[in-house]
Chain A
Amino acid sequence: MNQDEQVKVLGLWGSPFSKRVEIVLKLKGIPYEYIEDVYGNKSPMLLKYNPIHKKVPVLVHNGRSIAESLVIVEYIEDTWKTSYMILPQDPYERAMARFWAKYVDEKVMVAMWKACWGPKSEREKETKEAYEGLKYLEKELGDKHFFGGETIGFVDIAADFIGYWLGIVQEASGVTIMTAEEFPNLQRWSKEFISNNFIKEVLPPKQKLATLLKAQFGSVTSD
């Protein structure tokens, strides 16, 4: 394969957004070169490939760059129509998958983050929002193995934060929103999600991630 055809991923080892892209590439068996960006210091490469948002992940393929993790995931799905497909075939099911992935991104993740590390005055409100958001996901998951049904799909990948990061974030921040008692489906799902062989390969080590989170955000008791 020539240089241009090779897939490059510019990411950050601790970022759930970055990992979404790696998870999809692994599931679909697409080889890629991973380039680590630098925490706290945006590299020239990042600024070149994503001048609009200046954020990871960025995918580079055929000499062109694509940013925004869920846009990248759909690009990978559109480009490599291998046997492992992330999105269902049926247009209605696809719309549902896109809806829930967007919901995870825009509501649940944002609320969770703010509930743990946002301005103190807003934490109660954000905790309630995060809790409600997780309840909707709990219901949507039901007793399916994965949001995608029998196999890991678009929503599962979008919800990688919930599957792995959330537990570590809760421990690091001291804020607990998702408990096993109140969210048995999500609890069961996250265990299955992280035990997938491909996903296991790319997840950041727990202790290293906890240290990073504590360093980046301090503890919940500090102002």
Chain B
Amino acid sequence: MSSGEVKLIGAWASPFVMRPRVALNLKSVPYEFLQETFGSKSELLLKSNPVHKKIPVLLHADKPVCESNIIVEYIDETWSSSGPSILPSHPYDRAMARFWAAYIDEKWFVALRNFLKAEGEEDKKAVIAQMEEGNALLEKAFIDCSKGKPFFNGDNIGYLDISLGSFLAWLRVTELAASHKLLDEAKTPSLCKWAELFCNDPAVKPVMPETAKLAEFAKKIFAKPQA
């Protein structure tokens, strides 16, 4: 049942936190955003997610749901009669959405994160090559899933759009740091078009971190400790 207060424990810079925020916006569900302070974990977080101690955590009538993609599915199923469907309706399309979402988290994002941590030109080149390979796969996945429509999910933003789209701000920060376009109009034209549409969607705009602010934040968290 969809009644009960909704709270989300998270942080503005986290792509994983952005996912349930977009989902809640799509479903027009009001919620209280409880921001964690970077570098420390609140009592509420530790109590609500004792296993992983990580954000995001959705609290619905005080019951915690953890893991960003699982939270998105929960939101879709709980507020099923509100707003568009976040997961596709056909079983095969659902399987493809879940498959690619897992790929994005386990392979694609790992490459992106490795870039931000990479030291030296050789390392960076290797990660860029990895990312470009991943992007080519996602470009094809987009063409297959979207079937000519603007989003992975068709006419509206859905699970897979949210899964990949939540990384766009970090992708831009990485592009700035690399002085290298990772989403290239020539190589991945569909993804570039999709990215712009995603970022301008009313459910996304209010929760997408600003690139400049995120770049500053990234400098802070990836700064090397003083010798």
Which residues in A have some Cβ–Cβ distance to B below 8 Å? 52, 62, 64, 66-68, 71-72, 74-75, 78-79, 91-92, 94-95, 98-99, 102-103, 136
Not counting A67-B99, A71-B99, A95-B73, a sample of 8 additional A-B residue pairs whose C-beta atoms are within 8 angstroms of each other reads: A66-B96, A71-B95, A71-B102, A74-B98, A79-B91, A92-B63, A92-B65, A95-B65
With A79-B91, A91-B78, A136-B51 in contact, is A99–B66 under 8 Å at CB? yes
| CB <8 Å contact, B70 and A98 | yes
- Which residues on B sit within 8 Å (CB–CB) of A95? 65, 70-71, 73-74
Going nearest first, the 8 A-B pairs with the smallest beta carbon separation are A78-B91, A91-B77, A75-B95, A95-B74, A79-B91, A91-B78, A71-B98, A95-B65
- Which residues on A sit within 8 Å (CB–CB) of B102? 68, 71
- Which residues on B sit within 8 Å (CB–CB) of A136? 51
- Interface residue from B65, B91, B137 paired with A52 (Cβ < 8 Å): B137
Docked complex Cα distance between A103 and B70 (Å): 12
Residue contacts A-B, CB under 8 angstroms, 5 given? A71-B95, A71-B99, A92-B63, A92-B65, A99-B67
Q: How large is the interface on B (under 10, 10 to 19, 20 to 34, 35 or more residues)?
A: 20 to 34
| CB <8 Å contact, A92 and B94 | no
B33 within 8 A of A: no
B92 within 8 A of A: yes
B103 within 8 A of A: yes
| CB <8 Å contact, B94 and A75 | yes
Docked complex Cα distance between A94 and B72 (Å): 12
| CB <8 Å contact, A103 and B71 | no
| CB <8 Å contact, B74 and A92 | yes
With A62-B92, A99-B66 in contact, is A94–B99 under 8 Å at CB? no
| CB <8 Å contact, B99 and A91 | no
| CB <8 Å contact, A66 and B65 | no
| CB <8 Å contact, A94 and B77 | yes
| CB <8 Å contact, B51 and A64 | no
Q: Chain B 79-118 against A: per-residue CB contact (8 Å), 1 yes, 0 no?
A: 0000000000001101110110011000000000000000
With A91-B77, A94-B77 in contact, is A72–B65 under 8 Å at CB? no
- Interface residue from A62, A68, A103 paired with B99 (Cβ < 8 Å): A68
Docked complex Cα distance between A72 and B60 (Å): 29
Q: Chain B 42-75 against A: per-residue CB contact (8 Å), 1 yes, 0 no?
A: 0000000001000000001001011100110110
Docked complex Cα distance between A75 and B65 (Å): 22
Docked complex Cα distance between A173 and B66 (Å): 34
Question: Residue on B with the closest CB to A72?
Answer: B95
- Which residues on B sit within 8 Å (CB–CB) of A72? 95
Min distance, Cβ A56 to any Cβ of chain B, angstroms: 15
Min distance, Cβ B208 to any Cβ of chain A, angstroms: 25
- Which residues on B sit within 8 Å (CB–CB) of A79? 91
| CB <8 Å contact, A66 and B95 | yes
- Which residues on B sit within 8 Å (CB–CB) of A99? 65-67, 70
With A68-B102, A71-B99 in contact, is A98–B73 under 8 Å at CB? yes
Docked complex Cα distance between A50 and B60 (Å): 38
- Which residues on B sit within 8 Å (CB–CB) of A94? 73-74, 77
Min distance, Cβ B179 to any Cβ of chain A, angstroms: 30
| CB <8 Å contact, B91 and A75 | yes
Docked complex Cα distance between A136 and B53 (Å): 14
Min distance, Cβ A88 to any Cβ of chain B, angstroms: 11
| CB <8 Å contact, B103 and A52 | yes
With A52-B137, A68-B99, A92-B63 in contact, is A78–B94 under 8 Å at CB? yes
Min distance, Cβ A106 to any Cβ of chain B, angstroms: 9
Docked complex Cα distance between A94 and B77 (Å): 9
Docked complex Cα distance between A66 and B73 (Å): 20
Docked complex Cα distance between A94 and B73 (Å): 9
Docked complex Cα distance between A6 and B170 (Å): 43
